[in-house]
Structure formats: structure tokens, C-alpha cells
Amino acid sequence: SILSEALPTGTVSNMPWRKAGVTHPNNEIYIDIVEEIDAILSSTGGIISSDVSGSIQAQSNLSGVPDLLLTFNDASLIDDCSFHPCVRYTRFDRDRVVSFVPPDGPFELMRYRVSRNGGDQQQSNNLAVGNMPLQVIPRVSYGKFGGERGGNVGGRISLSVTARSISSLIYSSSRKGPLLIEDVTVVIPFPKFVRTVNLNVTTGQVIYDEAGKIAKWNIGQLDEKKRPQLNGTMVLEEDEEMIGSSSTPVSGEEQPPLLVNWKILLSSVSGLNVSGLSVTGEHYKPYKGVRNITKSGAFQIRCT
């Protein structure tokens, strides 16, 4: 056989994911519970579909061969779990706790889907998230601008972005202050019949890629007080005409959906929290950091 039965050199015999003789001057373990929202929203802010998937991302800087036990406040909140090879699956299946000897460095401990066993209205509507923490309202129109004589066939676009404190998110007890959404960006793909665009924003910076016909609006941080606006005009290809007096181009190609990226620290959709993280097998007491993060997955806004 061309497959070797031997483990890579320098690994613990029954744990090929962990090197032997690992040492760190400071012993630390960091756990992030990350939940991603996939959603399609209408141009008026209505939720067409939504789904939530979660993962537990770890950064382990622990010496020796530590044995960890991770427990949750309510493991019934999660379903369809998959694990890193270091996790003892039979223990999780029996006790709903995560027992493992971690690899050294960053790794994904597990993935899961948020359970929909509850009977609230948002779940009966087959929506994993009933109210989003962020709203984007686009307005796109095409027509002849500048008068009937000598007017140009073109388009106009405007976007408004707002943060909403009333949402389906559950916030950590350690969170203080008003809602803050971080790393907010809006990606705006334009149809092929658009030749060029001229865009202006009240917050952040917008960059247009002429070749790819894509604009990226970097907003940065967003709170309830900010109301970022984007306004712009579009020049269409010369052979593009309008169907009568409607605002639909002859090509029939629609405005593609917007893609929105964002994240909110110390929040979750499921309410899943770590209730305990114990380390045995070594004599030191490591620093342990745990936090929840909710972020966008495939988060789309339809323009029509």
C-alpha cells in the first residue's frame, strides 16, 4: 500500500492532530461562538427567507496534553452537529458536552445548525430570524433623464442603511451601551447594460470597479444614530433602449441583488452560551476567553 500506517513524526501517538512537547509561556484558550445568518430580503425590508448556521472557533495556546470539557447552557438549541476529529463524539451523543484534546493554534471545533424546535411565530413561518438587526432599502430606476429632447437613457440608484435595536438577536449580559454593528459593507453588482456609474455616499467610502461592474460601499461601524445614504446615476450602453415609457431596459436584465456584510459582537440568534470550560491533565490554570458573534452569511437584498 502507498498509504503509510505511521503517524507524522512529532505527534502524540493516538492524537495525530496534536504535536508532542508543545509549550507556551502563557497558557490561553479562546472560544468564539459564531452564528451566521443567510437571508434574502425584499426591497422594502421584508424577510423572504432566513437560515442560521453556527460554528465554534477556537484558538488554543496550551502546553502539554490538556484535556478540555466544554459545556453549554442549553445544548438543545443546536442540531445537525459536525466535529473536529479531536472531539469524543460518543461523549457528546450521550451527555451533550464537548470533550476533547485540542490541536495547537487556531481550529474549528464544531459546526451546527440552530434548532427550530420552538413554536414561536418566526419559526412557524419557516424563518430562522424574524427581525433583522440591519435594514437596507434600495431604489433603482431606469428612464430618459434630462428632458425629452436630447435626454439620455440612464438610471438612478439610492440606498439607505439603518441599524435596528429591536431584532431577534439575544445579547450577552456583558454587552454595554447601544447597538453597534461592525464591518458593514454593501456590494452592489450592476447589470451588463450599465456602462458606468457615478456614486456619492454620506458615510464611509464607495469604490466602483468598471471592469467587473461592481461597487463596494465600506460603511464601517453603524449605530442607530447613523443613517448612511448612497445616491448615484448610471450611464447605459449606447444600444440600450427603454420599452415604451416603462423603466425596464430592452434587454430585460434585472438589477442583481445587493450583498451586505456585517457582524455584531456579544450577540447570538440561538442564545447558546458556554456555561463551563474546564482543563484537566495539566497543573497550570489557563486564561479562558469566550464570546458570541453574530454575522452575515449570504445576506442578500433584492432590488425589484
pLDDT tens digit string along 287-301?
A: 999 999 999 999 999
The position carrying cell 471592469 is 211
Cα distance between residue 97 and residue 92, in whole Å: 5
CA geometry: angle 205, 133, 183, nearest 5 deg:
30
Is residue 260 within 8 A of residue 136, CB to CB? The reply is yes
pLDDT of residue 240: 55
Q: What is the mean pLDDT of residues 263-286?
A: 95
Mean pLDDT of the chain: 87
Neighbours of 241 (CB within 10 A): 13
Amino acid, res. 157:
I
- Residues in a beta bridge with 231: 158, 200
pLDDT tens readout for residues 77-119 = 999 999 999 999 999 999 999 999 999 999 999 999 987 654 3
pLDDT of residue 151: 56
The position carrying cell 434600495 is 138
Q: Which of 112, 113, 84 is nearest to 100 (CA)?
A: 84
SS3 76: helix
pLDDT of residue 123: 46
Q: Which of 263, 218, 280, 261 is nearest to 57 (CA)?
A: 263
Binning pLDDT at 50, 70 and 90, where does residue 1 land? very low
pLDDT of residue 121: 39
Amino acid, res. 2:
I
Kindly tell me if the per-residue pLDDT of 120 is higher than 50: no
Amino acid, res. 216:
K
Q: Which of 185, 190, 169 is nearest to 266 (CA)?
A: 169
Cβ neighbors of 120 (< 8 A, separation 6 or more) are 130
pLDDT tens readout for residues 164-191 = 988 889 998 888 888 899 999 999 999 9
By mean pLDDT, which of 14-18, 38-42, 56-60, 242-246 is the weakest? 242-246
Binning pLDDT at 50, 70 and 90, where does residue 252 land? low
Binning pLDDT at 50, 70 and 90, where does residue 147 land? low
Kindly tell me if the per-residue pLDDT of 146 is higher than 70: no
Kindly tell me if the per-residue pLDDT of 237 is higher than 60: yes
Binning pLDDT at 50, 70 and 90, where does residue 10 land? low
